[in-house]
Structure 1
């Protein structure tokens, strides 16, 4: 039987429908007996459902600022080449 840590590590794949039948059954069995993991899965689903509504689309300025930061981090990592 799964331990809670294994359940948590696999919960995103369960939500995305990426598990085999055997893995899903194992997850559901653990979910059935563990109230903590039931709560975790419920919160994960709620969070994933809310993410699209959490932030408006990024402006061109925000995108450019992030891209400059990434380029700067790459240059710093590569020794300024």
Structure 2
């Protein structure tokens, strides 16, 4: 049986339907038995649904700010 830590590691792939059939079954079995992980996956699902509605399209200034930050980070790394 999977451990809770493994559910956290695979939750995003579960919601994106990217797990193999065997892994998906193992995750679902764990979720049937663990209410804490069920709550975690449900909250992640709710968050993923809400994110697109939280922020509209990025402005040109916001995009430029992010690009500058990434370039600065790459230069420092």
| TM-score calculated relative to the size of structure 1 | 0.86
RMSD, aligned α-carbons:
1.2
Choose 1 or 2 for highest CA Rg: 1
CA distance in structure 1 between the partners assigned to 2:30 and 2:76 by the alignment: 46
Q: Which runs of 4+ in 1 moved over 4 A?
A: none
Change (3 A) 1:25 1:73: closer
CA distance in structure 2 between the partners assigned to 1:49 and 1:8 by the alignment: 18
Deviation at 1:21, TM superposition (A): 1.1
- Unaligned 5+ segments in structure 2 are none
- Unaligned 5+ segments in structure 1 are none
Deviation at 1:72, TM superposition (A): 2.7
| TM-score calculated relative to the size of structure 2 | 0.90
